[in-house]
């Protein structure tokens, strides 16, 4: 996917600007999981070190800054959110039987499903424990609602695998639950830990939810149009699993020859033999790739619009840049 022409140059400056904070998060992430069993840190650190973009901790940090600055509990909050994310990656890879993620073998591939599922449980419980030390009971309630939403989004996606009846509303509900819910929580936790008031916390939460939707639309686009080597995992996996994402949903709705062709390609009898270049070409020709890209840009713009009260603040500009990054990323 070539970068959108609307992407500004300062995206590259975003992560350097919060690098010292993110470095602290990296250190804490590596310290927080303890066990007598060597396999626990092995599996866990493998997952941590596969890297990832640390979008969620960055969001917690940036929302804390917007509310006045990093508070005494901000780092623990950011680490807890990333632990929930890492646990969900471990579970997802077991559930999808994935071999590769971020150019490395998955934990389930190396250590087997048992270790991957159990270390995920371990990481998730560690996140709850971390938050229980620094937050109040309402935060725990919000966390549990988020984990329920994440599971529900994944379950809904599993339920509709192989169906061509997924429409945009259902698609947005699924990605809202499975992805945006945790970004919303990441933003809320940042604002809460910096003593934002209820209105400010709600602003951050809505920003996080919109950003999360944009993030997942782009993720789904990258699975269709991205470069396998850059992404570090096989592309086309959604279609191979029978999962419709925004671009094919758009194409199928048109009821024209392109829609027929997309239907044939995504409903192929042997999905492992998917002709991805052909699917990509027809989705590009039908304008469906552009449609999905514009949807992501609109969601990112809506995220930024939430921040109108903070116009002129440098901390708000960083969140604008984060939204730009989410759209511009190629992995």
Give 2-69 as a 3 state SS string.
CCCCCCCCCHHHHHHHCHHHHHHHHHHHHHCCCCCCCHHHHHHHHHHHCCCCCHHHHHHHHHHHHCCC
Q: Please, which of residues 50-79 interact with a copy of itself by CB under 8 A?
A: none
Query: Could you say whether residue 169 binds a copy of itself (CB under 8 A)?
Result: no
Cβ at position 159, least distance to a copy of itself in Å: 6
Token pair in block for residue 136: 């109040």
From residue 282, give the alpha-carbon distance in Å to each of 12, 80, 259, 296.
32, 42, 9, 20
Cβ at position 198, least distance to a copy of itself in Å: 19
Instruction: Rule CB under 8 A: say whether 140 interacts with a copy of itself.
Output: yes
Give one DSSP letter per residue of 55-114, joined into a string: HHHHHHHHHHHHTTS--TTHHHHHHHHHHHHHHHHHHHHHHTT--EETTEE-HHHHHHHH
Q: Which is nearer to a copy of itself, 113 or 254 (CB)?
A: 113
CB of 181 to a copy of itself, least distance (A): 11
User: Is 29 an interacting residue with respect to a copy of itself (CB under 8 A)?
Assistant: no
CB of 325 to a copy of itself, least distance (A): 29
CA-based radius of gyration for the chain: 20
Sole binder of a copy of itself in the list 23, 121, 264, 305 (CB under 8 A): 121
- Considering only 27, 39, 278, 285, the residue that binds a copy of itself (CB under 8 A) is 39
Q: How far is the CB of 83 from a copy of itself (least distance, A)?
A: 11
Tokens of 259: 């829609």
The CB-of-329 to a copy of itself minimum distance in angstroms stands at 27
| Closer CB to a copy of itself, 124 or 286, in the complex | 124
- Tell me which of 13, 114, 163, 313 binds a copy of itself, using CB under 8 A: 114
Q: How far is the CB of 77 from a copy of itself (least distance, A)?
A: 14
* Residue written as token pair 């990054």: 325
Contact with a copy of itself (CB under 8 A) among 150, 249, 299, 326? 150
Residue 156 binds a copy of itself, judged by CB under 8 A: yes
> What is the rounded CA–CA span in Å between residue 90 and residue 47?
8
How far is Cα of residue 258 from the mean position of the Cα atoms in its chain?
30
The residue from 2, 9, 20, 137 that contacts a copy of itself (CB under 8 A) is 137
Helix 55-66 and helix 19-31: axis angle, to 10°?
120
Please state the closest distance from residue 145 (CB atom) to a copy of itself, in A.
6
Note whether 136 binds a copy of itself by CB under 8 A. yes
10 part of the interface to a copy of itself, by CB under 8 A: no
Question: Treating both helix axes as pointing N-terminal to C-terminal, what angle do 137-159 and 107-134 enclose, rounded to 10 degrees?
Answer: 150
Q: Which is nearer to a copy of itself, 50 or 118 (CB)?
A: 118
Contacts of residue 90, Cβ cutoff 8 Å, sequence gap at least 6: 43, 47, 107, 108, 116, 117, 119, 120, 123
Q: Which is nearer to a copy of itself, 65 or 188 (CB)?
A: 188
Count of residues in contact with a copy of itself, rule CB under 8 A: 44
Q: What angle do CA 285, 258, 301 make, to 5 degrees?
A: 55
Nearest-approach distance from CB 10 to a copy of itself, in angstroms: 38
Residues at the contact surface with a copy of itself, assessed by CB under 8 A? 35-37, 39-40, 91, 94-96, 112-115, 117-119, 121-122, 124-126, 128-129, 132-133, 135-138, 140-141, 143-145, 147-148, 150-152, 154-156, 158-159
């Amino acid at each position: 996917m070539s970068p959108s022409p609307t992407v500004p140059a300062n995206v590259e400056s975003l992560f350097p600007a919060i690098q010292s904070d993110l470095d602290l998060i990296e250190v804490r992430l590596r310290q927080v999981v303890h066990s007598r069993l060597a396999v626990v840190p092995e599996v866990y650190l493998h997952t941590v070190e596969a890297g990832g973009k640390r979008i969620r901790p960055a969001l917690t940090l940036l929302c804390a800054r917007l509310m006045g600055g990093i508070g005494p509990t901000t780092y623990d909050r950011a680490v807890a959110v990333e632990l929930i994310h890492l646990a969900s990656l471990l579970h997802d890879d077991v559930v999808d039987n994935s071999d590769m993620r971020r150019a490395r073998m998955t934990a389930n591939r190396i250590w087997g499903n048992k270790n991957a599922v159990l270390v995920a449980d371990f990481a998730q419980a560690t996140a709850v424990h971390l938050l229980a030390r620094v937050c109040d009971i309402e935060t725990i309630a919000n966390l549990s609602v988020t984990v329920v939403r994440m599971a529900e989004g994944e379950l809904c996606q599993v339920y509709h695998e192989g169906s061509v009846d997924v429409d945009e509303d259902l698609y947005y509900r699924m990605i809202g639950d499975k992805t945006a819910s945790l970004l919303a929580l990441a933003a809320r936790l940042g604002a809460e830990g910096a003593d934002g008031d209820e209105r400010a916390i709600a602003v951050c939460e809505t920003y996080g939810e919109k950003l999360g939707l944009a993030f997942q639309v782009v993720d789904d686009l990258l699975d269709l149009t991205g470069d396998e080597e850059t992404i570090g995992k096989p592309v086309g996996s959604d279609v191979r699993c029978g999962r419709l994402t925004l671009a094919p949903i758009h194409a199928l709705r048109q009821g024209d020859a392109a829609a027929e062709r997309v239907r044939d390609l995504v409903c192929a009898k042997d999905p492992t033999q998917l002709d991805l270049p052909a699917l990509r070409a027809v989705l590009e020709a039908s304008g469906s790739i552009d449609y999905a890209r514009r949807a992501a840009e609109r969601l990112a713009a809506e995220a930024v619009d939430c921040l109108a009260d903070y116009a002129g603040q440098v901390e708000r500009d960083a969140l604008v840049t984060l939204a730009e990054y989410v759209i511009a990323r190629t992995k």
